[in-house]
Amino acid sequence: MNKADSERLGSALEQLGLHSVTKANDADLVVFNSCVVRQGAEDKVANNLSLMRPLKKQRPDQVVALMGCMVGPKTDELQRRFPHVDLFMRPQQYDPLLNLVGEQLGVDWEGCVGSLAPNQPDVTCYVPIIHGCDLMCTFCIIPYRRGRQVSRPVDEIVGEVELLVQRGVREVTVLGQTVDAYGHDLPEKPDLAHLLTSLNDIPDLLRIRFLTSHPTFMSQRIIQAVADLPKVCEHINLPVQAGDDEILSRMRRPYTSAEYRELVGRIRDTVPGVSLSTDLIVGFPGETEDQFQRSMDMVAELRFSKVHCAAYSTRPGTVAHRAMEDDIPQADKARRLKTVDQLQESILSDINSTLVGQTLEVLVDGHKKGKWRGRTRTDKLVFFDAGGELDGERLGQLVNVKIDDASPWSLQGTPVAVVSSASIHSHGTT
């Protein structure tokens, strides 16, 4: 979400005539977009902000702004810690900076800035469709910083994606903290299935993804849309957060581990070949070894394509911070994290080895060290040589790649054919 927010602010600034530079020293304006989901992320921003202090002394005219979830309703404490920062902006609150830049340039920015869609997007692009979140998971700071759920209207999103496609985008990932709750707050109550159906009709858009889902809102209509709509990729991130019911309840996640398993089974029955990833927290306050083991059991049983596992990090302002003691020693959290990662690595090693010899459809989105890079419909990262008859500009092409080698983290292959646009309209072989 932060990447999307940064791109959108970047688009507005470019429309005012600014352009990006690679070094902070060369910039007239430096914006930090902050994340506070865990302490480590917050520390990183704080360190980088402190590094700006000597630069700002040398160049007092340079504007330094802090945006994102580090900025709450009150900024006194931040102003005290970072007196060299000129502006503090809450997530997606671009106006104060645009006002300042507009004043400095002597223009009315509202007359100059149109759509915030990135001007020079990559082949793949994030599109926020919901701001905020209506849930209150006890460990999470996001609703306090991003506010209540506000969905963007279907027409506005479709118009933006059409513009992005004109600018070369071939895959969009629509974003929300609970993306499958899309539309619940809009007067006509469209749902994510409705939006995906509208996006599926956009010519020259090749793929659609959505991130991140919440088990509570994953309706059968949405699951069926993933199965039926040719451009919607068969990949769903479905955060479970814990495999133990008591921990789920204390996290205020409104489902049990049995309900989660039932949902996974239903998704797998409805969408053949679907890949599922998840988010998991270890070391939540009071988590016993038995309760941790239940998370391990779930990871072993459900064989996700990815597990985004994090050690619990208390966030001031959350319910868990106020009402629960962060009592799991750091060493235990680190051990549990490592245990999950090791298990997941061996699962991925197994899953990916079964792909060797298969031909998978890859959307090429970049290159690295002489190889093209892209992802399958199920979100596997694939590299292939940029030589032979497929040499040339491949960005944005769908290429069938025969997989020669696999590691837990990526696949290596040989291109066998460029997929014609006609074959885009059937599900891939992944």
Smallest gap, in angstroms, from Cβ of residue 6 to ligand SF4? 19
Nearer to ligand SF4, 129 or 133 (CB): 133
Asked if 142 touches ligand SF4 (CB under 6 A), the answer is yes
Smallest gap, in angstroms, from Cβ of residue 131 to ligand SF4? 11
State the chain's maximal CA–CA distance in angstroms: 64
Asked if 211 touches ligand SF4 (CB under 6 A), the answer is no
Asked if 135 touches ligand SF4 (CB under 6 A), the answer is yes
Asked if 318 touches ligand SF4 (CB under 6 A), the answer is no
Candidate list 38, 214, 375, 427; residue touching ligand SF4; CB under 6 A:
214
Candidate list 49, 116, 130, 137; residue touching ligand SF4; CB under 6 A:
137
Candidate list 24, 84, 99, 143; residue touching ligand SF4; CB under 6 A:
143
Asked if 238 touches ligand SF4 (CB under 6 A), the answer is no
- Dist. CA 326–CA 285, nearest whole Å: 5
Smallest gap, in angstroms, from Cβ of residue 149 to ligand SF4? 9
Nearer to ligand SF4, 216 or 339 (CB): 216
- Dist. CA 137–CA 141, nearest whole Å: 9
Asked if 150 touches ligand SF4 (CB under 6 A), the answer is no
Asked if 333 touches ligand SF4 (CB under 6 A), the answer is no
Asked if 222 touches ligand SF4 (CB under 6 A), the answer is no
Nearer to ligand SF4, 86 or 180 (CB): 180
Asked if 37 touches ligand SF4 (CB under 6 A), the answer is no
Three-class SS string for the chain? CHHHHHHHHHHHHHHCCCCCCCCHHHCCEEEEEECCCCHHHHHHHHHHHHHHHHHHHHCCCCEEEEEECCCCCCCHHHHHHCCCCCEEECCCCCHHHHHHHHHHHCCCHHHHCCCCCCCCCCCEEEEECEECCCCCCCCCCHHHHHCCCEECCHHHHHHHHHHHHHCCCCEEEEECCCHHHCCCCCCCCCCHHHHHHHHHCCCCCCEEEEECCCHHHCCHHHHHHHHHCCCECCEEECCCECCCHHHHHHCCCCCCHHHHHHHHHHHHHHCCCCEEEEEEEECCCCCCHHHHHHHHHHHHHHCCCEEEEEECCCCCCCHHHHHCCCCCCHHHHHHHHHHHHHHHHHHHHHHHHCCCCCEEEEEEEEEECCEEEEEECCCCEEEEECCHHHCCCCCCCEEEEEEEEECCCCEEEEEEEECCHHHHHCCCCC
CB burial of 245-264 (b: ≥16 within 10 Å; e: otherwise) equals bebbebbebebebeebeebb
Asked if 133 touches ligand SF4 (CB under 6 A), the answer is yes
Span from 111-119, 129-137, 150-158, 335-343 in contact with ligand SF4 (CB under 6 A)? 129-137
Asked if 140 touches ligand SF4 (CB under 6 A), the answer is yes
The residues near 395 (Cβ < 8 Å, ≥ 6 apart) are 123, 364, 365, 366
Smallest gap, in angstroms, from Cβ of residue 62 to ligand SF4? 34
Nearer to ligand SF4, 135 or 395 (CB): 135
Asked if 175 touches ligand SF4 (CB under 6 A), the answer is no
Smallest gap, in angstroms, from Cβ of residue 72 to ligand SF4? 15
Span from 66-74, 100-108, 134-142, 221-229 in contact with ligand SF4 (CB under 6 A)? 134-142
Span from 128-136, 202-210, 365-373, 400-408 in contact with ligand SF4 (CB under 6 A)? 128-136
Smallest gap, in angstroms, from Cβ of residue 79 to ligand SF4? 27
Candidate list 178, 295, 318, 344; residue touching ligand SF4; CB under 6 A:
178
Nearer to ligand SF4, 178 or 237 (CB): 178
Asked if 8 touches ligand SF4 (CB under 6 A), the answer is no
Asked if 177 touches ligand SF4 (CB under 6 A), the answer is yes
Contact footprint for ligand SF4 (CB under 6 A): 133, 135-137, 140, 142-143, 177-178, 214
